[in-house]
Amino acid sequence: MQSVSWKCPSNIALIKYWGKKGNQIPANPSISFTLNNCHTITNIRYEPKENDGTLLVSFAYDGKPMPSFEPKLETFFNNVEALFPFLPGYTLEINTTNTFPHSSGIASSASGMAALALCLCSIEKNIGGNLSEAEFFKKASNAARLGSGSACRSIYGNMALWGQTDFYPESDDEYAIKIENIDSVFKTYCDTILLVDEGEKEVSSSAGHALLNGHPFAHIRFEEANKNMGLLKTALETGDLKAFTKITEQEALMLHALMMTSNPAFILLKPNTLAIIQKVWEYRKNTALNVAFTLDAGANVHLLYPAEEKIKAHHFIEFELAKFCKNKSFIHDGVGMGPEQLV
Ligand code: PMV
């Protein structure tokens, strides 16, 4: 059997994707930091089989079968069949592992689906595909999107944008692009993930996206996201950390406000999430440093700060924030270079 392997990082959105149309087309454009330490490593062993039109795929997580992943995987393969017509002619053995705990509440679908998409593109290349490097990554991003929308952004290092917007003429609804023009401060930005709640999400992001259909504030939300896209672009290009903080926090709170005003409503924030937010605001007022928060679709807090404030931020985390985390646990991460092919 031959084999391909990719290491692919997770990402954290600053402008949030929340709400979709048709086949995984975002209702508004989104921007994210690509992380480094929180990543998935996926290996696929493959060999030719008789092409009888059926897929033969086995899946293991950390070397063990994981039946709970299988429905999502099946949907993914159904969605990407047309992109990879060679698939029914091969047997695939997928083995995957994450550097962060599977139950930590950190979204593993972004890094997981992106790693899988990259592996499929590499198999295609090995059996005679001849895409240019740029087309290879574009295709991987498009395929990753069909597994989990946010996954398409994990294909590129530093910062990525997904969704058509006039602010970036190269942008597209079907794949992400790398944002090239950013101030150097953002290339080393730090993200400490404060693990407030390690449980499984109570409402899946697919269910959350669906609740934007007919949501009374959906229209306003999409307008605000587009407006924030323009403001964030300027902040990223000029290195304006005050503006960056304001937009990032507003986006995080708006995401959760949409959840609270959905029908049915739901709340993913926990009391300790709010306690951390209060502490961050107090800290910023007292120190004038640039520690900011953002939130995923869950209770964990991503604490964002420039590398030059690292020592002070770590002190703040250890002495003032860790007590709000489950078992005082957090993960130091930061902006990374993007996926890496291992085999
Ligand atoms: O990729 P999905 O369908 O799991 O949705 C991700 C949604 C958020 O994480 C809340 C926002 C984002 O843009 O990543």
pLDDT at 96: 95
- Residue position matching structure tokens 């409503």: 265
pLDDT at 56: 93
Report the candidate in 114, 146, 141 with the shortest Cα–Cα distance to residue 23.
Answer: 146
297 Cα: distance to centroid of ligand 1 (angstroms)? 7
Cα(285)–Cα(277) distance, integer angstroms: 12
Contact 246, 281 (CB under 8 A): no
pTM beyond cutoff 0.75 = yes
Residue nearest to atom 10 of ligand 1 (CA): 297
- Give the CA count within 13 Å in the CB-facing half-sphere of 63: 0
pLDDT at 100: 82
18 Cα: distance to centroid of ligand 1 (angstroms)? 7
125 Cα: distance to centroid of ligand 1 (angstroms)? 29
Query: What residues have CB less than 8 Å from 253, skipping those under 6 apart?
Result: 295
149 Cα: distance to centroid of ligand 1 (angstroms)? 7
Which helix (H) or strand (E) element contains residue 312? helix 310-316
Q: Enumerate residue ranges in the chain where pLDDT < 70.
A: 101-105, 107, 200
**Ligand 1 neighbours (beta carbon < 6 A):** 13, 16-18, 30, 107, 109, 148-150, 205, 255, 296-297
Quick one: which atom of ligand 1 is closest to the CA of 162? 13
Residues 99-111: pLDDT tens digits?
A: 986 656 676 789 9
